[in-house]
Chains A and B, each alone.
Chain A
Amino acid sequence: MSAAAKRQILSAICILGFFVLWEIICVAFHVSDLVLPRPSQVLVTLWTQFPAIWPHTVQTVYTTLLGLGLGIVFGLALGMLIGSSRLAYDVAYPLLVGFSSIPKVAIVPILVLWFGSGTVPAVLTAMVMCIFPIVVNVAAGLASTEPELQDVMRTLKATKLEILWNIGLPRTMPYFFASLKVAATLAFVGTVISETVASNRGIGNVMMIASSSFDVPLVFAGLFILAALGVALYVIFSVIEGRVTGWARRGDNFSAGG
């Protein structure tokens, strides 16, 4: 057995062990499922309530991906602007830091005021949650481009756009993907905040209703779904990252695969 496979099996056993321990503690200390339901209970709830939960899951995924997509588009554009222009940096950075310090729960009511409750404020909340790490990383990546690489292009009389396209953007990709993994999980947080406060659909809403009727296993089922979705998105971006920016990690598979 290879070392990599051994490592994977070991980590899987440890993760599984965590849930088993949880189960054992709940049984051993007679923990009420109103306080902390057992993992097996949560799984049963997931299974039995699946038809009811499924449409809400789809809604949350849809909202999150839309918000993340918008966040990527605007984040990339803003990050490139800030990273390549001194003035844009000086103007936008304080604004951005200030804006990202605002608790996002506080802006949901404003969004609801503007766009009504439902999908739109959830998408926008997801977007504003995930935009900050993308902008900061893309800007940092662009700003850290080695001057020597730019000199190579400048002696060839390349235009600013050509330098950005051929040097700046590829150079920034590792930073961008690193931010994307953070942004993807933040987008879920944004969606759920908004669904909890102002929506009648989505996992956030399901959890809200479940907790008000003391259906704690259902609340935990919602948490499990969110965690699983977050992990899934993270894995997807990791795979894309490996294929696109393998050069930055000097992976052995990159020269063959990419």
Chain B
Amino acid sequence: MNQALATDIAIRNAIIDLERVNVTFGGEKNKTVALAETSLRIENGEFVALVGPSGCGKSTILKLVAGTLSPSEGHIFVTGREIGANDVRIGMAFQNPTLLPWLNIRDNVMMPLKIVPPFKRDFARKKSGEYRDRAEALLAKVGLSGFGDKFPWQLSGGMQQRASLCRALIHDPTLLLLDEPFGALDQFTREELWEIMQTLWIERRPTVLLVTHDLKEAAYLATRICVMQARPGRIIDDSVVPFARPRTIDVSFQPEFVSLTQRLRERIVAARAVHEVQP
């Protein structure tokens, strides 16, 4: 590493820093640009929502930060170090609960403690003591106390998603990545989980990156909303959400909230219209 680059890295204190990142799929002939020249900087403790139509590269950004996808061009820094070289703790929840069907809910929630250092070192010793209590306490917070011994298929979709949130949080991640975790739920369960999510975030203050196409969800939960457009995927709007916390569902009926979601909606619709005019 040369001197200039080393200094460059030293002055970064953002937890996530995407620098002119390009992601392309396919060969020369049928090249798809999933993400074009995207830069995004997220400070420690922020709750950032990525919204936009499907195919705009929201999930691509999430995969880049999670380290399950490599950029075609550009750099991604997490806690000041290039992705892959850092040891930041990441928790992730997906649209599907993705619980392991052969483990009960408690063991599912405890899975990260088995894998992630420094917890994994003591896993064998603490799994039926301290770690078990930790999992039960977290399950109780999301309203699943007493369900630790159940298996995933014995729970409803909403309950599975709660357990999945617990699994994403059990190892106290610095970075929480949420890929439309409330997308497949009914309206009331969704709103209930927004509230739980907010409470957990206020308590623990991880940096959160939430991918969603629900503007209300974004405005309710996030401190900052990035609007994306498709083909090529890029960020076209970046707004701060000013409402005081803890927010309740009543906030979503206030004029400021409505006008914010209205404005974001118009930006997305406009971006789509431009796209549709193109051949």
| Interface, chain A (partner B; CB < 8 A) | 146, 148-149, 151-158, 162, 166-167, 170-171, 173, 245, 247-248, 250, 254-255
Contacts and interface: CB of A to CB of B under 8 A. Distances in A.
Nearest to A245: B102
Interface stretch (B1-9, B150-158, B195-203): B150-158
Interface stretch (B32-40, B110-118, B235-243, B267-275): B110-118
Interface string B42-84: 0000000000000000000000001110000000000000000
B231 to A, nearest CB: 25
A155 B90 contact: yes
A248 B151 CA distance: 11
Tell which of A146, A157, A254, A255 has the most Cβ of chain B within 10 Å. Answer: A157
Given A149-B98, A166-B114, A247-B101, A157 B67 contact: yes
Interface of B: 66-68, 90-92, 94, 96, 98, 100-102, 104, 111-112, 114-116, 149-151, 153-154, 167, 171, 177
A155 B116 contact: no
A22 B37 CA distance: 81
Tell which of A148, A152, A153 has the most Cβ of chain B within 10 Å. Answer: A152
B90 A170 contact: no
A234 B100 CA distance: 28
A167 B115 contact: no
Contact of A247 (B91, B149, B151, B167): B151
A152 B115 CA distance: 11
A166 B68 contact: no
B116 A156 contact: yes
Contacts of A171: 102
B115 A250 contact: no
Nearest to B84: A157
Contact of B90 (A156, A245, A248, A255): A156
A126 to B, nearest CB: 30
Contacts of B154: 255
A173 B153 CA distance: 18
B92 A152 contact: yes
Nearest to B92: A155
B78 to A, nearest CB: 12
Given A151-B68, A162-B115, A255 B151 contact: yes
A255 B103 CA distance: 10
B101 A248 contact: yes
A153 to B, nearest CB: 7
A187 B66 CA distance: 47
A148 B153 contact: no
A148 B100 CA distance: 10
Contacts of A156: 90, 111-112, 115-116, 171
A157 B151 contact: no
A248 to B, nearest CB: 7
B40 to A, nearest CB: 19
Nearest to A254: B151
B13 to A, nearest CB: 23
Contacts of A153: 115
B90 A148 contact: no
Contacts of A255: 104, 149-151, 154
Contact of B115 (A146, A149, A157): A157
A156 B149 CA distance: 24
A148 B177 contact: no
A163 to B, nearest CB: 9
Given A152-B167, A247-B101, 7 more contacts: A149-B98, A151-B68, A155-B66, A155-B68, A166-B100, A247-B102, A255-B104
Contact of A148 (B94, B104, B167): B94
Nearest to A152: B98
A154 B115 contact: no
A170 B112 CA distance: 17
Contacts of A254: 151
A255 B106 CA distance: 13
B82 to A, nearest CB: 15
Tell which of B91, B115, B177 has the most Cβ of chain A within 10 Å. Answer: B115
A153 B120 CA distance: 14
B174 to A, nearest CB: 13
Given A156-B115, A166-B114, A250 B153 contact: yes
Contacts of B66: 151, 154-155
Nearest 5 pairs of A and B residues by beta carbon: A155-B92, A247-B102, A156-B115, A155-B66, A148-B98
Nearest to B152: A247
B94 A151 contact: yes
Nearest to B68: A154
27 contacts: A148-B94, A148-B96, A149-B98, A151-B66, A151-B92, A151-B94, A152-B92, A153-B115, A154-B66, A154-B67, A155-B67, A155-B91, A155-B92, A155-B177, A156-B171, A158-B115, A166-B100, A166-B111, A166-B114, A170-B100, A245-B102, A247-B101, A248-B101, A248-B102, A250-B153, A254-B151, A255-B150
A258 to B, nearest CB: 9
